[in-house]
């Protein structure tokens, strides 16, 4: 099996994405996870004079043991008109202690004259001198030919000279960069063919996604002969992002006959993708190929029927090969087969003609008519099924709640307070809490009332709260749908709950209660005793 090295730049290029900023601790945690996953090269950042965070990362990374990856420091060639040994950025690269250093240089004539404001010969000297200087201090130096494809279009001969300059300096690999992300795949293939006709050296590829082609271009480059792909987890990066390694790696291993990870590591890619999204504090893209929650989700009744008979009919790879799972979505298009398959996961011995199947289907259809949607709220569907089967023991009973929102004048911020009265195993609790808004106050008051009996609630946190208007023509009198996403920090599991009502507080309460009930059901034992039971 042919080998391709994966060069991950999530910690540098990915960190430059809008709304993403990794701390040093974040970067170390991601680097450890990437190393365990089997990534060959992890670019830790640019340890220049103005970046103390990345300098700290490399200082701490030097003291760690790495199983698979080589930590890489990134920087630029020397500045025009000075010697490499006098360039502070090159000095910081050496001081980083990274065993691999990557520097970029200009391959586009426009950048040489308009950005660097130097002449073509000096730019070539900058590339050669910088690589040669770094090779005196580390064994491995890569050269990133920035804007190579735009540079090739403008002046192919000069773009090639920049590669030759890096090779004269001793570069171990030259990476061709589609920095603007505008190169079309067939043109990229033509340019790569021209480069390979003149150079017999290891080449890499670094693509941005401004035309939506970063993954396709990276894969085309491998077919053309490139032996290294640079990209980021989830495609994070500046502007439209970088080449998404979560799409590239499975395609290479499952469809193109290349090995880029240690044996048996590919099924970890979905959890890695979600782990990085969590540390980036951005929602995980559920429509992402291979690793998204919707990648193997089936909604249409005919699709579900077919995939249950022959998975390949609507799944291009088995979901378990990438650590994902098949999901059969409840919707107004769902039929008896969908409901039966979902119920059988809860009760494997359930027969297809069990009356429960028809009952749950009827209840789900009725609720959907009133505004519920179970596609992203499988926890609510599971609770519906358990109620229908008579297996749901309520962890508490509501005896009433009240929510107050006050605003005394235009300048004051509104004040929200909620009180709840609930009964848990015969004990009454009456609590109050303030919140940023009425739903937040209600959530706090409910948790406050339950915390004595159910300390597990401390592990459960709401990660998303969405409100959707169901019929805008009715204005403020319309029903709304509330969707809540909850996470258990002890094991990382997440679930969604849904409710709909004309009163937004009531819809929020119902979705909130379902989220807590489902979470408590995950714990087999009652916190106050040894008896096995539902909460």
CA end-to-end span of the chain, whole Å? 52
User: What is the pLDDT at residue 534?
Assistant: 37
Angstrom distance (rounded) from CA 1 to CA 493: 36
Digit-coded pLDDT (tens) for 204-230 = 999 999 999 999 999 999 999 999 999
User: What is the pLDDT at residue 332?
Assistant: 53
Residue 529 has pLDDT above 70, yes or no: no
Highest mean pLDDT: which range of 115-129, 403-417, 472-486:
115-129
Angstrom distance (rounded) from CA 240 to CA 214: 10
Read off the pLDDT band of 526 (50, 70, 90): very low
- Can you tell me whether residue 511 is helix, strand or coil? helix
Cβ partners under 8 Å of residue 369, min gap 6: none
User: What is the pLDDT at residue 535?
Assistant: 38
Residue 336 has pLDDT above 80, yes or no: no
Digit-coded pLDDT (tens) for 289-330 = 999 989 998 877 678 778 878 889 999 999 999 999 887 776
CATH code 3.30.160.270 region(s) in the chain: 397-521
User: What is the pLDDT at residue 531?
Assistant: 34
Q: Which run of H or E residues covers position 307? A: helix 301-309
- Among 354, 295, 360, 304, residue whose Cα is nearest residue 322: 295
Digit-coded pLDDT (tens) for 73-94 = 999 999 999 999 999 999 999 9
User: What is the pLDDT at residue 24?
Assistant: 94
Angstrom distance (rounded) from CA 343 to CA 352: 10
- Among 74, 75, 73, 70, residue whose Cα is nearest residue 41: 70
- The CA–CA distances, whole Å, from 437 to 77, 401, 461, 481 equal 53, 15, 17, 18
Lowest mean pLDDT among 162-166, 300-304, 418-422: 300-304
- Can you tell me whether residue 181 is helix, strand or coil? coil
Tokens 């050269």 identify what position? 143
Read off the pLDDT band of 472 (50, 70, 90): low
Q: Could you say which architecture CATH assigns to the domain 297-366?
A: Irregular (4.10)
- Can you tell me whether residue 278 is helix, strand or coil? helix
User: What is the pLDDT at residue 528?
Assistant: 39
Q: What's the rounded mean pLDDT across residues 243-258? A: 98
Lowest mean pLDDT among 319-333, 392-406, 483-497: 319-333
Residue 346 has pLDDT above 70, yes or no: yes
Residue 334 has pLDDT above 70, yes or no: no
User: What is the pLDDT at residue 15?
Assistant: 94
Q: What is the DSSP string of 404-452?
A: EEE--STTSPPEEEEEEEEEETTEEEEEEEEESSHHHHHHHHHHHHHTT
Digit-coded pLDDT (tens) for 347-366 = 999 998 899 998 988 888 88
User: Using alpha carbons only, how large is the chain's radius of gyration in Å?
Assistant: 28
Contact of 304 with 250, CB cutoff 8 Å: no
Read off the pLDDT band of 1 (50, 70, 90): confident
Angstrom distance (rounded) from CA 498 to CA 370: 12
**In the 8-state DSSP scheme, what is residue 490?**
T
Cβ partners under 8 Å of residue 165, min gap 6: 105, 124, 125, 127, 128, 131
CATH 3.30.160.270, domain 397-521, yes or no: yes
Residue 178 sits at the vertex; the CA angle it makes with 174 and 183, to the nearest 5 degrees, is: 135
Digit-coded pLDDT (tens) for 96-154 = 999 999 999 999 999 999 999 999 999 999 999 999 999 999 999 999 999 999 999 99
Angstrom distance (rounded) from CA 284 to CA 78: 39
Instruction: State the pairing for strand pair 297-298/258-259.
Output: unpaired
Q: In the chain, pLDDT over 90 holds for what percent of residues?
A: 73
Angstrom distance (rounded) from CA 208 to CA 213: 8
Q: Which run of H or E residues covers position 104? A: strand 100-106
Say if residue 270 is exposed, middle or buried (CB neighbours under 10 Å; 0-12, 13-18, 19+): buried
User: What is the pLDDT at residue 397?
Assistant: 92
User: What is the pLDDT at residue 79?
Assistant: 94
HSE, CB side, 13 Å, CA atoms: give it for residue 508.
19
**Two structure tokens written together for 25:** 């601790």
CATH code 3.20.20.70 region(s) in the chain: 2-262
Helix crossing, 52-61 with 24-37: angle to 10°?
A: 40
User: What is the pLDDT at residue 533?
Assistant: 36
- In CATH, the number for domain 2-262 is 3.20.20.70
Cβ partners under 8 Å of residue 123, min gap 6: 80, 105, 106, 112, 116, 162
Q: In the chain, pLDDT over 70 holds for what percent of residues?
A: 96
Cβ partners under 8 Å of residue 235, min gap 6: 209, 214, 241, 242, 243, 244, 245, 246, 247
- Can you tell me whether residue 377 is helix, strand or coil? coil
Q: Residue 100 forms beta bridges with which residues?
A: 72, 140
Q: What's the rounded mean pLDDT across residues 490-504? A: 89
Cβ partners under 8 Å of residue 217, min gap 6: 178, 183, 185, 188, 205, 207, 243
Question: How many whole angstroms from its chain centre is CA 205?
Answer: 22
Contact of 223 with 164, CB cutoff 8 Å: no
Residue 523 has pLDDT above 80, yes or no: no
Q: How many CB atoms lie within 10 A of CB 170?
A: 15
Q: How many CB atoms lie within 10 A of CB 313?
A: 11
Digit-coded pLDDT (tens) for 15-48 = 999 999 999 999 999 999 999 999 999 999 999 8
Q: What is the mean pLDDT of the chain?
A: 91
Angstrom distance (rounded) from CA 264 to CA 307: 26
Q: Which run of H or E residues covers position 58? A: helix 52-61
Residue 532 has pLDDT above 50, yes or no: no
Model pTM greater than 0.85?
no
Contact of 484 with 511, CB cutoff 8 Å: yes
Angstrom distance (rounded) from CA 113 to CA 165: 18
Q: How many CB atoms lie within 10 A of CB 92?
A: 20
Q: Residue 142 forms beta bridges with which residues?
A: 102, 173
Lowest mean pLDDT among 1-10, 29-38, 112-121, 404-413: 404-413
Contact of 347 with 391, CB cutoff 8 Å: no
Highest mean pLDDT: which range of 240-244, 435-439, 530-534:
240-244
Read off the pLDDT band of 49 (50, 70, 90): confident
Read off the pLDDT band of 331 (50, 70, 90): low
Say if residue 113 is exposed, middle or buried (CB neighbours under 10 Å; 0-12, 13-18, 19+): middle
Percent helix, strand and coil across the chain, each rounded to 5? 45, 20, 35
């Amino acid at each position: 099996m042919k080998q391709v090295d994966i060069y991950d730049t999530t910690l540098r290029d990915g960190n430059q994405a809008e709304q993403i900023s990794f701390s040093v601790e974040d970067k170390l945690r991601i680097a450890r996870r990437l190393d365990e996953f089997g990534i060959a090269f992890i670019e830790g950042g640019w340890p220049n004079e103005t970046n103390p965070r990345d300098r700290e990362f490399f200082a701490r990374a030097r003291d760690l043991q790495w199983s698979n990856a080589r930590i890489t420091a990134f920087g630029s060639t020397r500045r025009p008109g000075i010697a490499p040994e006098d360039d502070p950025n090159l000095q910081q690269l050496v001081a980083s202690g990274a065993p691999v250093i990557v520097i970029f240089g200009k391959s586009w004539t426009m950048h040489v004259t308009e950005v660097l404001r130097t002449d073509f010969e000096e730019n070539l000297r900058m590339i050669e001198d910088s690589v040669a200087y770094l090779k005196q201090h580390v064994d491995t130096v890569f050269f990133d030919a920035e804007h190579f494809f735009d540079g090739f279009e403008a002046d192919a001969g000069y773009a090639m000279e920049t590669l030759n300059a890096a090779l004269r300096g001793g570069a171990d690999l030259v990476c061709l960069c589609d920095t603007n992300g505008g190169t079309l795949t067939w043109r990229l293939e033509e340019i790569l063919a021209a480069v390979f006709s003149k150079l017999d050296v290891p080449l890499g590829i670094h693509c941005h996604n401004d035309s939506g082609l970063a993954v396709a271009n990276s894969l085309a480059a491998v077919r053309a002969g490139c032996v290294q792909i640079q990209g980021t987890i989830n495609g994070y990066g500046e502007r439209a992002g970088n080449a998404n390694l979560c799409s590239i790696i499975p395609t290479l291993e499952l469809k193109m006959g290349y090995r880029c990870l240690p044996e048996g590591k590919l099924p970890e890619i979905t959890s890695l993708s979600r782990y990085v999204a969590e540390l980036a504090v951005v929602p995980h893209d559920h429509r992402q190929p291979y690793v998204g929650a919707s990648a193997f989700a089936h909604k249409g009744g005919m699709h579900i029927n077919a995939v249950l008979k022959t998975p390949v009919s609507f799944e291009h790879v088995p979901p378990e090969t990438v650590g994902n799972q098949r999901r059969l979505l409840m919707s107004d298009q769902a039929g008896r087969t969908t409901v039966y398959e979902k119920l059988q996961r809860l009760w494997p011995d359930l027969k297809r003609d069990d009356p429960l199947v028809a009952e749950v289907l009827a209840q789900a259809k009725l609720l959907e008519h009133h505004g519920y949607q179970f596609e992203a709220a499988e926890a609510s569907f599971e609770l519906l099924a358990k109620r229908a089967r008579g297996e749901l023991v309520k962890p508490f009973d509501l005896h009433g709640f009240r929510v107050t929102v006050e605003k005394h004048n235009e300048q004051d911020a509104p004040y929200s307070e909620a009180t709840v009265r609930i009964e848990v195993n015969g004990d009454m609790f009456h609590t109050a809490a303030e919140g940023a808004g009425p739903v937040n106050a209600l959530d706090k008051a409910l948790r406050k009332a339950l915390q004595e009996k159910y300390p597990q609630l401390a592990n459960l946190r709401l990660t998303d709260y969405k409100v959707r208007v169901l019929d805008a023509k009715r204005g403020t009198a319309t029903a709304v749908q509330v969707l809540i996403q909850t996470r258990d920090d002890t094991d990382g599991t997440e679930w969604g709950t849904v409710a709909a009502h004309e009163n937004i507080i009531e819809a929020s309460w119902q979705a909130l209660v379902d989220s807590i009930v489902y979470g408590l059901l995950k714990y087999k034992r009652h916190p106050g005793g040894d008896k096995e039971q539902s909460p």
